[in-house]
């Protein structure tokens, strides 16, 4: 038995003749890890996930999920997966309990209805209709429907998009608990903080390809450095070349107004930056530093902001 | 019954009964139609004949003689007004006194021809005519021959058609459009069970739908059931299966509810008009009859009416039953071949 929950090679999916949604994507997800597919809207995340889930047929490529292929024994494979779609409209006038019972009935074995409702903390809402739930509660019910079969592999497609911060945190708690219980999780998100918080490893996807892969810490230190310094200065003499020569500066990027420097040691970089500013006779418009995030990784890789 | 099939059917039933408007259109609306049409077309005592007597010598005696006859309403009017009354339909005939008496009327109007006979009879009788042949009358009202008796089976058929089309066709497309179908296909759910739950849901409602209309028709208007209830139920079931099949068929490709709305109306409207719901389909020309007879609602209505109003047995409605069964089988088979699962 392979230790990979998902293995896919050379995945290609076209919509019509124009749009190449997935462009030769490779992916390995290990058993027991929480894996994040990160990317902007339209990067091909959802298409990739739906191919892995057996809901879409790829135009080319090879997909293996839990050691099986979708071409044989699909129903048996479905028994072992839990899936949430990007948006789920469950029956409006069914209660939480009725919806969970309906989905439980599709699986031969799995958790009890009470267990699942407790897992997603919807005990108080069990007799409320789906249409009366808040966005966060609806999303947790969608996750509950994915958990009824006690899946080995759970797919979560943008589970917290559009939710308020408290609902996001509640959902994260559910994912952390599942992950701790040994469930493999593949989630897509365009929230970098979500990926940093939940994922053991992430793949950054853009234009249907994986452009970076690793743990969130690895990606940040490899691509960006540890800190980002942003500033604006009122002088033409301060340019990329001058900045790149400063002590401790990794890379320089010109922004709409001012520059962003990625640095390893902020206590070395800042004094040398200030010295440069003074030498040129310029004044600083603003100066700020923050720890590098996956957002900075994405910008460093593509030159674009993630959420545009 | 497998637990999944049971849960799917329960889901359909719950979604329906928790939607007040759906409940109204299925149960309340047909009852309102029976009430409205039953009252509008109730059997009334025969209308009296409206006769205008033109003013002149001897006119008043003539008016009195007519007014004394049963079933005649006579008015004395100046010549101009009498003609105007005839023209506008307020009078069926104008009687001008004299020798001979003149009857003015439009022979293409049935009530005018009746008026001509009744008025002449009354005047001749008042003048002393005696019948050479003695005759007595016995008035009858055949049960099952009133308009409301015709209407109730037609509305049962119409209801079976529309709940099948909307309750299955529209609902399936809504489930597809909301991606709930896709979500359920991501589970090990069996596709056949998903579709079969709709058929079971329709049967459950049939048990309520048909008796509600039958009992209401009986209590409010004394609409009889001459034939067997079992045969009527069997026909209703076949009708429900046929329209369940057509419902799944119209839903099999449509991606959104607007499309399926159009398709459902396209299928239902011709039957609404041609299949003898509100008036007999025999009014349509002979050339159209083969088409009219081939429509599933015509078969269902004809069969329901034969059982309810004429007490027909199973053998008499076999052709209609066979047509309904055939439509059910063909439409389901076709729908399964072309159904858009994702």
How many other CB atoms are there within 10 angstroms of residue B164's CB atom? 28
Q: Say whether B49 sits in a helix, a strand or coil.
A: strand
Its ipTM equals 0.84
Q: Tell me the pLDDT band of A306, cut-offs 50, 70 and 90.
A: low
Determine whether the interchain pair A107/B187 forms a contact, defined as Cβ–Cβ distance below 8 Å.
yes
Nearest to A130 by CA among A151, A110, A145, A146: A145
Nearest to B152 by CA among B77, B213, B105: B213
Nearest to A225 by CA among A254, A249, A200, A258: A249
Determine whether the interchain pair B178/A85 forms a contact, defined as Cβ–Cβ distance below 8 Å.
no
Q: Give the whole-angstrom CA distance, residue B58 versus residue B55.
A: 8
Reply yes or no on whether the pLDDT at A305 is more than 70.
no
Reply yes or no on whether the pLDDT at B1 is more than 60.
no
- Indicate where chain A has its CATH 3.30.70.100 domain(s): 225-291
- Cβ-Cβ contacts under 8 Å, A107 against chain B: 187-188
Amino acid A143: pLDDT? 94
- From A105's Cα to the closest Cα of chain B, the distance in A is 5
Reply yes or no on whether the pLDDT at A89 is more than 90.
no
Q: Percent helix, strand and coil across chain A, each rounded to 5?
A: 35, 30, 35
Q: Tell me the pLDDT band of B204, cut-offs 50, 70 and 90.
A: very high
The CATH number assigned to the domain with range A225-291 reads 3.30.70.100
Alpha carbon B274 to chain centroid, angstroms = 11
A contact test, residue of B6, B10, B187, B201 with most A CBs within 10 A:
B187
- Indicate where chain A has its CATH 3.40.50.300 domain(s): 4-215
Reply yes or no on whether the pLDDT at A234 is more than 80.
no
The pTM (predicted TM-score) of the whole model is 0.80
- Binding-face residues of B in 143-182 toward A, CB within 8 A: 178-180, 182
- Cβ-Cβ contacts under 8 Å, A105 against chain B: 3-4, 6-8
**Dihedral sign, Cα of residue B53, residue B59, residue B64, residue B65:** negative
Of B10, B19, B342, the CB nearest to A93: B19
Q: Which of A80-89, A98-107, A251-260, B53-62 has the lowest mean pLDDT?
A: A251-260
A4-215 has which fold? Rossmann fold (3.40.50)
- Cβ-Cβ contacts under 8 Å, B190 against chain A: 75
- Cβ-Cβ contacts under 8 Å, B11 against chain A: 91, 94, 98, 102
Q: Give the whole-angstrom CA distance, residue A208 versus residue B118.
A: 91
Determine whether the interchain pair A106/B4 forms a contact, defined as Cβ–Cβ distance below 8 Å.
yes
Amino acid A250: pLDDT? 79
Q: Give the whole-angstrom CA distance, residue B238 versus residue A239.
A: 83
Q: Give the whole-angstrom CA distance, residue A269 versus residue B203.
A: 78
Amino acid A1: pLDDT? 53
Torsion region of B335: left, alpha or beta (phi above 0 gives left; psi -120 to 50 gives alpha)? alpha
Reply yes or no on whether the pLDDT at A237 is more than 90.
no
Q: Please answer whether residues A90 and A144 qualify as being in contact, where contact means their C-beta atoms are separated by less than 8 angstroms.
A: no
Token pair, residue B218, equals 């009986």
Amino acid B292: pLDDT? 93
Q: Give the whole-angstrom CA distance, residue B206 versus residue B192.
A: 21
Of B18, B179, B190, the CB nearest to A85: B179
Determine whether the interchain pair A101/B7 forms a contact, defined as Cβ–Cβ distance below 8 Å.
yes
Averaged over B139-167, what is the pLDDT? Answer: 86
């Amino acid at each position: 038995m392979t230790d990979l929950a998902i293995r896919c090679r050379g995945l290609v999916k076209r919509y019509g003749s124009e749009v190449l949604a997935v462009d030769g994507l490779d992916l390995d997800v290990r058993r027991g890890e929480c894996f994040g597919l990160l990317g902007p809207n339209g990067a091909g995340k959802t298409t990739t996930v739906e191919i892995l889930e057996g809901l879409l047929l790829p135009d080319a490529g090879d997909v293996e999920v839990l050691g099986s292929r979708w071409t044989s024994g699909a129903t048996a494979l479905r028994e072992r997966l839990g899936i949430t779609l990007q948006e789920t409209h469950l029956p409006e006038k069914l209660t939480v309990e009725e919806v969970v019972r309906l989905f439980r009935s599709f699986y031969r074995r799995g958790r009890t209805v009470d267990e699942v409702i407790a897992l997603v903390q919807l005990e108080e809402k069990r007799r409320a209709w789906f249409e009366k739930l808040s966005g966060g509660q609806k999303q947790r019910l969608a996750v509950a429907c994915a958990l009824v079969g006690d899946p080995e592999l759970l797919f979560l497609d943008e589970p917290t998009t559009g939710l308020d911060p408290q609902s996001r945190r509640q959902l994260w708690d559910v994912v952390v608990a599942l992950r701790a219980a040994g469930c493999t999780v593949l989630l897509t998100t365009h929230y970098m903080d979500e990926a940093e918080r939940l994922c053991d490893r992430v793949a950054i996807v853009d234009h249907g390809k994986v452009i970076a892969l690793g743990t969130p810490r690895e990606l940040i230190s490899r691509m960006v450095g540890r800190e980002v310094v942003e500033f604006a200065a009122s002088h033409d003499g301060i340019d990329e070349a001058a900045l790149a020569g400063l002590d401790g500066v990794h890379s320089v990027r010109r922004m709409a107004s001012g520059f962003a420097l990625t640095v390893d040691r902020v206590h070395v970089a800042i004094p040398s930056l200030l010295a440069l500013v003074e030498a040129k006779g310029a004044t600083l418009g603003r100066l700020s530093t923050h720890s590098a995030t996956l957002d900075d990784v994405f910008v460093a890789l593509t030159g674009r902001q993630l959420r545009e | 019954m497998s637990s999944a099939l049971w849960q799917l059917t329960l889901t359909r039933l719950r979604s329906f009964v928790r939607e007040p408007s759906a409940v109204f259109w299925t149960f309340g609306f047909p009852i309102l139609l029976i009430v409205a049409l039953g009252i509008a077309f109730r059997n009334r005592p025969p209308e009296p004949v409206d006769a205008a007597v033109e003013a002149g010598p001897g006119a008043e005696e003539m008016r009195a003689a007519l007014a004394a006859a049963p079933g005649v309403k006579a008015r004395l009017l100046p010549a101009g007004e009498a003609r105007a009354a005839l023209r506008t339909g307020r009078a069926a005939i104008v009687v001008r006194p004299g020798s001979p008496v003149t009857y003015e009327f439009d022979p293409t109007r049935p009530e005018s021809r009746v008026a001509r006979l009744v008025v002449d009879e009354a005047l001749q009788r008042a003048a002393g005519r005696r019948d050479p042949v003695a005759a007595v009358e016995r008035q009858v009202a055949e049960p099952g021959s009133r308009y409301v008796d015709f209407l109730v089976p037609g509305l049962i058929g119409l209801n079976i058609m529309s709940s099948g089309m909307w309750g299955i066709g529209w609902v399936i497309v809504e489930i597809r459009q909301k991606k709930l179908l896709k979500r359920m296909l991501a589970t090990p759910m069996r596709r056949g069970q998903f579709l079969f739950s709709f058929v079971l849901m329709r049967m459950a409602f049939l048990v309520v739908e048909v008796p509600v209309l039958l009992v209401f028709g009986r209590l409010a208007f004394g609409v009889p059931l001459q034939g067997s209830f079992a045969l009527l139920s069997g026909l209703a079931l076949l009708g429900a299966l046929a329209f369940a099949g057509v419902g799944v068929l119209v839903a099999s490709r449509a991606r959104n509810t607007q499309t399926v709305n159009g398709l459902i109306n396209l299928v239902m409207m011709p039957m609404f008009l041609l299949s003898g719901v509100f008036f007999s389909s025999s009014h349509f020309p002979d050339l159209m009859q083969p088409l009219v007879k081939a429509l599933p609602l015509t078969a269902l209505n004809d069969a329901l009416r034969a059982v309810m109003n004429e007490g027909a047995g199973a053998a008499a409605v076999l052709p209609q039953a066979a047509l309904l069964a055939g439509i059910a089988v063909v439409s389901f088979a076709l729908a399964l071949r072309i159904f858009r699962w994702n």
